[in-house]
Amino acid sequence: MTLDQILRQRLDERRRRNLYREVKTLDSVPNPLARVDGGELIAFSSNDYLGLASRPEVIAAQQAGAELGAGATASHLVNGHLQIHQQLQYDLAEITGREAALVFSSGYMANVGTLCALLGRVDNIISDKLNHASLIDGARLCGANSLRFPHNDLDGLRRQLRRAAGRDGNILVAVDGVYSMDGDLAPLAEIARLCREFDAWLMVDEAHGFGVMGSEQFPLAGSCAAAGLDQSQVPVMMGTLGKAAGNAGAFVAGSRALIDYLVQFARPYIYTTGMPPAVAAGCVAAVNLMRSEPALPQRLESNIAHFRHRARQLNLPLADSPSAIQPLLLGCEETVMAVAAQLEQRGFLVGAIRPPTVPAGTARLRITLSAAHCHSQIDALLDALAVVLQENRAVRL
Ligand code: PMP
């Protein structure tokens, strides 16, 4: 058989199991809308939690940033690192309460690069089973002894810490602060306590926490700050710029030593073209808006509360999520696809998430909320959901 014949066979098998992923091509995504084929949908599928992706101030700053050059023209260590990258790193360190920060071109690269820089074959990495794919791939690639514990299970984590402590090498515990497909939070204060007890380093992926939650002192820093943890308890913090910052790229924040070390050893930082200066300029503008408009995360919080309150009234199968990510677990792939398609016919764009992104039997609608939504749009989605779910006999309402 030719390569193409083998690939076609595998793709057909994926289609047969309702697992085939389609790329949806949109015209534009001015949050909370998605324009497609000349029409308009209300999007509940974007990670642009604060609506910054379409803010005129950010777009203007990004256009001005393009004057610095359309691309960085080289890797950061050659000639691809500009003042605007420095400015962004400085701002990110400041709002996360860390000594320093380092920008990466994507969160995937930040996670893989950081784990591979910090851990080698003699070391141990302990991961939550629902960690993001980029942490999972980093754990594989770094070659360390890899241990996993059931999602958010502190006894399971303690057991793995005990096992790791009986071996040579350092121990790093890696978790998401906010889980991307479930929306629930890691019990970070308890995890940090266990890390201290076992002398393990804690790394937290703040992709979905950065910009939308924090402490009084660092209101944008993410779930670690919200749990009362600082750099001494969470020495490795990773955040992305493609979600609450509405742009692209990512960063790791921590001690000066950590950042200096990553510059030397994180291969996805070293061996790739630097972040385009325009992107860095857009991110600086987005961070400025985050700082000057505390009403943004407050509006998001109000939307989350409103969604959950109304969804409960309608008896929808809500998950236990306090965040902007509100999954509705339907279980069956076919049902999830049918419900998402019918919602689209009614004017709503919602993510349909299936295995292998989530465990088998847990296919779900992934509804994401933004500060850009208004309550009436949320009500309209929920009314449509109640009808569509009942029509599909997806849940008993
Ligand atoms: N970590 C988590 C938890 C994520 O949800 C994502 C994005 N899907 C990433 C890392 C990767 O970030 P990026 O999109 O910047 O590669």
Q: What is the pLDDT of residues 68-78, one digit of tens each?
A: 999 999 999 99
Helix (H) or strand (E) holding 252: strand 250-254
The interface predicted TM-score of the complex, written ipTM, equals 0.99
* Average pLDDT score over the chain: 97
Q: How far is the CA of 120 from the centre of ligand 1 (A)?
A: 23
The overall longest dimension of the chain from CA atoms, in Å, is 62
> pLDDT, tens digit, for every residue of 190-199?
999 999 999 9
Give the per-residue pLDDT at 396. 54
Tell me the average pLDDT across 157-183: 98
pLDDT above 70: residue 172: yes
Range 20-49 average pLDDT: 95
Our answer on whether the CB atom of 134 is closer than 6 Å to any ligand 1 atom is: yes
Binding-site residues sit at 21, 107-108, 132, 180, 208, 240, 357
Q: How far apart are CA 169 and CA 385, in angstroms?
A: 51
pLDDT of the residue at 78? 97
Q: Give the start-to-end residue ranges of the domains of the chain.
A: 19-48+294-391, 56-292
| Residue 183: predicted pLDDT | 98
- Nearest residue (by CA) to ligand 1, atom 11, is 107
Residue 381's alpha-carbon distances to 42, 203, 344, 369, 375, in angstroms, are 9, 36, 10, 11, 10
Instruction: Kindly state the helix (H) or strand (E) to which residue 310 belongs, with its residue range.
Output: helix 295-313
For the cut 80, the answer to whether the pLDDT of residue 397 exceeds it is: no
Q: Which two tokens stand for residue 180?
A: 């991307």
CA–centroid distance, 14 to ligand 1, in Å, is: 24
Q: What separation in Å is there between the alpha carbon of 106 and the centre of ligand 1?
A: 8
pLDDT higher than 70, residue 395? no
Which residue minimizes the CA distance to atom 10 of ligand 1?
107
**How many angstroms does the Cα of residue 88 sit away from the middle of ligand 1?**
19
pLDDT tens-digit map of 94-140: 999 999 999 999 999 999 999 999 999 999 999 999 999 999 999 99
Instruction: Find out whether the beta carbon of 47 lies less than 6 Å from any atom of ligand 1.
Output: no
- Kindly report, residue by residue over 186-242, the tens digit of the pLDDT: 999 999 999 999 999 999 999 999 999 999 999 999 999 999 999 999 999 999 999
Candidate from 103, 137, 176, 180 with most ligand 1 atoms within 8 A of CB, to mutate: 180
Whether 200 is in the pocket of ligand 1, judged by its Cβ within 6 Å, is no
When pLDDT is averaged across residues 337-345 and rounded to a whole number, the result is 96
CATH class of 19-48+294-391: alpha beta
The Cα 267–Cα 117 span in angstroms is: 8
State the pTM of this model.
0.96
- 180 close to ligand 1 (CB < 6 Angstrom): yes
Percentage of residues in the chain with pLDDT exceeding 70? 99
Residues marked active site are found at: 180, 208, 243
CATH number for region 56-292: 3.40.640.10
Residue to mutate (ligand 1; options 46, 108, 181; most atoms within 8 A of CB):
108
Ligand 1 center from residue 229 Cα (angstroms): 22
Q: Would the CB of 106 count as within 6 Å of ligand 1?
A: yes
Residues 6+ apart with CB under 8 A from 67: none
| The pLDDT of residue 185 | 98
- Look at residue 393 in the predicted model and tell me its pLDDT: 78
d(CA 169, CA 135) in angstroms, rounded, equals 19
Q: Which residues are annotated as a binding site for pyridoxal 5'-phosphate?
A: 107-108, 180, 208, 240
Paired residues of 173 in beta bridges: 126, 202
